[in-house]
Amino acid sequence: MAAQLKFRDVTLGYDRHPAVHHLGGEVAQGALLAVVGPNGAGKSTLFRGIVGLLKPLSGAIRTGGLDVRDIAYLPQIAEIDRSFPISVFDFISAGLWRGIGSFGGIGKSARERILAAIAAVGLNGFENRPVGTLSGGQMQRVLFARVLLQDARLIVLDEPFNAIDSKTSADLLALVRRWHGEGRTVLAALHDLEMVRANFPETLLLARGPVAWGATEEVLTPENLLVAMRMCEAFDDSAAACVDDDSHSRAA
C-alpha cells in the first residue's frame, strides 16, 4: 500500500533545540497508528510537524500529496481557549471551512451536516450551549464532531482520550474505528497502553527519538518500554540541533 506519510531523517524542535531526533519511516494509507512514549517523549512535537505547525530543523515530512486542508488535527484539549463566547454549533461548523471558506454562509445542506456531526458524538440538544460551559468529556466530543465534518484523509489526534470518562472514550473510539474502516489514515498519541493493545494494530514508541515501530505486540514489550523511559530521562534539553542546511524542508 502507498505511503501516506514519509519521515526522512526528521529532527523537530523549538528555538533550535531538538525535541524529536532522526525519525525515519513511513505510514501507509489507511493505517491506524498509535504513537506512545513517556511524558516529554516528543509526541505533540511530532504531530505539530505533521500538520505543518512546526518546520523541521532538518530532514523532511512528506504527506503523500495531501494539501493541509486534507489533514484534520485534534490538539490536546488543554490547548483550546474556551473563554471565547462561541456556541457548540458555531465551533463545530468551523470544520466546514474547507468547503465554504472562512466567510461563507451556512446553507441548509451544511446545517444538516453539522447537526448530523453533533448527533454522531452524542450532543443533541447542546447546539446553543457556549463551549465554555462544557465538561472535559463534552468538549472532546465537540472536537471530534469538528474533525468529523472536515472529511479529511489524514487524521491526527493528540491525546484524544485524556482525562475523560470511560463512556466518552468508548463512544469516541468507535468514531476512530469508523474512520479507519473508511480507509482514512489515523494517528493518535496515547498513554493507555491497554487501549493501544486492544485497538491499534501499529505503534510507534517514541522517546525523543524512535525506539521501536511496527506491530503493536512487538513494540510494546517491557524491554522497549524500559529503553524509552531511560532515553527520556537521559535526554539533554539543551542539546544542539542536528542541522543539515540542505534538508530544511517540509514537502507535500
> 29 and 62, same structural domain?
yes
Burial letters 58-89, b for 16+ CB under 10 A, else e: bbebbbbebeeebbbbbbbbeebeeeeeeebb
- Beta sheet of 17-28, edge-to-edge order: 17-28, 3-14, 58-62
> 122 and 224, same structural domain?
no
> 168 and 236, same structural domain?
yes
> 158 and 60, same structural domain?
yes
> 115 and 38, same structural domain?
no
What is the domain range of residue 50?
1-66+153-252
Is residue 42 a part of any domain in this protein? yes
pLDDT at 236: 63
- The Cα angle at residue 126 between residues 184 and 121, in degrees rounded to 5: 25
Is residue 71 a part of any domain in this protein? no
> 145 and 98, same structural domain?
yes
**Helix-helix angle 136-150:108-120, to 10 degrees:** 130
Please state the separation of Cα 12 from the chain's center in Å. Answer: 16
Is residue 121 a part of any domain in this protein? yes
**Residue 202: C-alpha distances to residues 26, 171, 174, 213, 242 (Å):** 12, 21, 17, 8, 28
In whole angstroms, give the CA distance from residue 80 to residue 241: 29
> 157 and 145, same structural domain?
no
Q: How many domains does the chain have?
A: 2
> 177 and 62, same structural domain?
yes
Is residue 171 a part of any domain in this protein? yes
Is residue 80 a part of any domain in this protein? no
- Domain final residue pick, 149, 177, 195: 149
Which DSSP state fits 96? G
> 167 and 143, same structural domain?
no
- Domain final residue pick, 114, 134, 149: 149
CATH classification of the domain holding 159: 3.40.50.300
> 135 and 59, same structural domain?
no
Q: What are the mean pLDDT values of the chain's consecutive 10-residue runs (252 residues total)?
A: 93 89 96 96 96 95 89 90 90 79 69 95 96 94 96 96 92 96 98 97 96 98 96 71 45 42
Identify the residue whose cell numbers are 451536516: 113
> 182 and 57, same structural domain?
yes
pLDDT at 251: 42
Dihedral sign (CA 49, 50, 53, 56): positive
Identify the residue whose cell numbers are 470518562: 165
Burial letters 111-137, b for 16+ CB under 10 A, else e: eebbeebbebbbbeebeebebeebeeb
pLDDT at 67: 85
Is residue 238 a part of any domain in this protein? yes
Is residue 92 a part of any domain in this protein? yes
Is residue 77 a part of any domain in this protein? no
pLDDT at 97: 74
> 170 and 238, same structural domain?
yes
- Domain final residue pick, 133, 149, 165: 149
Dihedral sign (CA 50, 55, 58, 59): positive
In whole angstroms, give the CA distance from residue 128 to residue 131: 9
